[in-house]
Chain A
Amino acid sequence: MNGPQQSLLASRADTEPGQLPGDLAMWVFIVAELLAFGLLFISLAFARTREPEVFAAGAATVHTGAGLLNTLILLTGSYFVVLGVKAVRSGAVVRCSRWLLAGAGTGIAYASIKFSEYAQLVADGYNLRSSSFHFFYFFTTFFHLMHVVLGMIILIAIAQRCRQGLYSAADHRGVESGASYWHMVDLVWLVLFPLIYVLL
Chain B
Amino acid sequence: MNRLSLIWGTLLVLTAVSWLLGQRLDEAWLPAVVLVLTAVKGQLVIDDFMELREAPRLLRQIVSGWLITVLAVAGGVGWLT
Contact = CB atoms under 8 A, between A and B. Distances in A.
Question: Is chain B found bound to chain A in the same assembly?
Answer: yes
Interface of A: 15-21, 27, 30-31, 34-35, 37-38, 41-42, 44-46, 48-49, 64, 67-68, 71-72, 75-76, 78-79, 81-83, 86, 180, 183-184, 186-187, 190-191, 193-195, 197-200
Q: Is the interface of B mostly helix, strand, loop or mixed?
A: helix
Given A68-B16, A199-B22, A187 B55 contact: no
Interface in B61-81: 62-63, 66-67, 69-71, 73-75, 77-79, 81
Most buried by B among A78, A83, A199: A199
B11 to A, nearest CB: 5
B38 to A, nearest CB: 5
Contacts of A198: 18-19, 21-22, 25, 34
Given A20-B56, A83-B4, A183 B19 contact: no
Contact of B4 (A21, A82, A180, A191): A82
B66 A38 contact: yes
Given A49-B77, A68-B19, A75 B8 contact: yes
B75 A45 contact: yes
A77 B57 CA distance: 26
A190 B81 CA distance: 22
Q: Is the interface of A mostly helix, strand, loop or mixed?
A: helix
A27 B22 contact: no
A71 B56 contact: no
A191 B54 contact: no
A152 to B, nearest CB: 17
Given A45-B73, A191-B38, A195-B78, A79 B19 contact: no
A191 B71 contact: yes
Most buried by A among B22, B48, B77: B22
B45 A19 contact: no
A121 to B, nearest CB: 19
Most buried by A among B45, B57, B63: B45
A79 B34 contact: no
Given A19-B54, A45-B78, A190 B42 contact: yes
Contacts of A67: 19
B24 to A, nearest CB: 11
B63 A34 contact: yes
A19 B59 CA distance: 10
Given A31-B63, A42-B77, A187 B70 contact: no
B25 A200 contact: yes
Most buried by B among A31, A75, A76: A75
Most buried by B among A44, A67, A184, A187: A187
